[in-house]
């Protein structure tokens, strides 16, 4: 099931990069115009924080507000930190700042790193650094702003292990385990997770279940009612009213493959109905609902090679009104890879 997030064309391209001469790569970059089609631009209400490499570093954090973008943070690691022959896409794992999350009141931004939780204000000033009992993988705010849900690896004495989700109290530093997943010989991976607006449910992408492959599961925040929700799907996002889960997949709800590319869908958890939002010939990722629940912003890779460059787009939940939020830009320090990548948006009023 790994093909869901690692399409065969990516791996073929990886082999191409290792063996093809530099001249061939330059030709590919010059052919981008065909895929970089013209789309209307949109200015949306609220503010979107996102990760990018627009100025050359992997872990830059930008804010889009009133049609303008500004950088508030920048990591120190660049393409130069990659071993020779590696793709720029691998650099996200090296990012100093990644996957930013707005606080419930929109005044602070949260990051999870190996050295703990980092909390910044909206202008990039570090407000707080907190270390939980173990290195967090991902983190999101609880609805009261006083606690943080996070995932980490619980290793098994027999080898392997599993990711589990915990709740960290910012006031007294106590921790509460939410999931208690059985370890595997390898690592059972929680690849991403989100908490419902009412703090009652968690939706997460899990890999390691042979029967379901890479799929989305839900669990109550008290640790009860773990169940499979959406087959062959990744990157869940709750709507503001808690009635819908947006996600991306190459498959229909039945499990039948819908196409080669990841598209945006949403599941209405009250009716069980699934709606396909995008139907494009390129990769979509990182969906997030607008504060009013009427639109979805997402990363879209509209370049010849899906691993090279992406911008943020927005679309109405009925599939109309697709438009650009960020414009394509040549990478400032990596002419071989060509284009910058905007990803991991989080939208607040």
Instruction: Give yes or no for a contact between 214 and 5, defined as CB atoms under 8 angstroms apart.
Output: yes
What pLDDT does 336 receive? 61
d(CA 61, CA 139): 16
Instruction: Give yes or no for a contact between 317 and 335, defined as CB atoms under 8 angstroms apart.
Output: no
What pLDDT does 45 receive? 97
What pLDDT does 70 receive? 97
Q: Is the pLDDT of residue 82 over 90?
A: no
Q: Centre a 10 Å sphere on the Cβ of residue 240 and count the other Cβ atoms it contains.
A: 15
d(CA 47, CA 69): 10
Mean pLDDT of 212-231: 94
How sure is the predictor about 344, in pLDDT bands with cuts at 50, 70 and 90?
A: very high
d(CA 194, CA 206): 12
Q: Of 84, 31, 93, nearest to 58 (Cα)? A: 93
Q: Is the pLDDT of residue 27 over 50?
A: no
Q: Is the pLDDT of residue 87 over 70?
A: no
Instruction: Give yes or no for a contact between 348 and 102, defined as CB atoms under 8 angstroms apart.
Output: yes
- Of 76-85, 142-151, 280-289, least confident by mean pLDDT is 76-85
Q: What is the pTM of this model?
A: 0.86
How sure is the predictor about 33, in pLDDT bands with cuts at 50, 70 and 90?
A: very low
Question: CB within 8 A of 83, min separation 6: which ones?
Answer: none
Instruction: Report which secondary-structure segment, H or E, holds 274.
Output: strand 274-276
Q: Is the pLDDT of residue 19 over 90?
A: no
Q: Is the pLDDT of residue 239 over 90?
A: yes
């Amino acid at each position: 099931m790994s093909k869901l997030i690692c399409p065969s064309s990516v791996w073929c391209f990886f082999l191409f990069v290792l063996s093809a001469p530099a001249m061939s790569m330059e030709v590919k970059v010059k052919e981008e115009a065909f895929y970089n089609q013209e789309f209307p631009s949109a200015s949306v209400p609220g503010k979107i924080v996102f990760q990018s490499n627009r100025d050359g570093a992997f872990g830059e954090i930008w804010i889009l507000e009133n049609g303008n973008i500004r950088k508030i943070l920048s990591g120190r690691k660049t393409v130069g930190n990659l071993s020779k022959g590696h793709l720029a896409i691998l650099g996200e794992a090296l990012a100093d700042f990644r996957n930013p999350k707005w606080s419930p009141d929109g005044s602070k931004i949260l990051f999870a790193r190996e050295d703990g939780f980092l909390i910044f204000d909206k202008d990039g000033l570090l407000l707080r650094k907190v270390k939980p009992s173990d290195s967090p993988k991902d983190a999101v705010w609880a609805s009261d702003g006083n606690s943080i849900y996070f995932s980490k690896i619980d290793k098994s004495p027999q080898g392997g292990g599993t990711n589990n989700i915990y709740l960290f109290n910012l006031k007294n530093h106590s921790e509460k385990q939410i999931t208690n997943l059985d370890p595997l010989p390898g690592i059972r991976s929680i690849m991403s997770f989100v908490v419902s607006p009412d703090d009652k449910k968690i939706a997460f992408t899990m890999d390691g279940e042979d029967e379901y492959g890479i799929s989305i599961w839900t669990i109550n925040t008290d640790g009860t009612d773990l169940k499979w929700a959406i087959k062959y799907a990744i990157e869940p996002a709750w709507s503001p009213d808690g009635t819908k889960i947006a996600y991306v997949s190459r498959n229909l709800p039945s499990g039948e493959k819908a196409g080669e590319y990841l598209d945006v869908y949403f599941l209405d958890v009250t009716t069980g109905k699934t709606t396909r939002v995008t139907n494009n010939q390129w990769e979509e990722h990182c969906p997030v609902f607008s504060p009013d629940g009427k639109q979805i912003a997402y990363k879209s890779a509209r370049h010849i090679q899906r691993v090279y460059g992406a911008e943020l787009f927005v679309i109405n939940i009925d599939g109309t009104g697709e438009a650009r939020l960020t414009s394509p830009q040549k990478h400032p320090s990596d002419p071989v890879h060509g284009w910058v990548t905007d990803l991991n948006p989080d939208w607040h009023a």
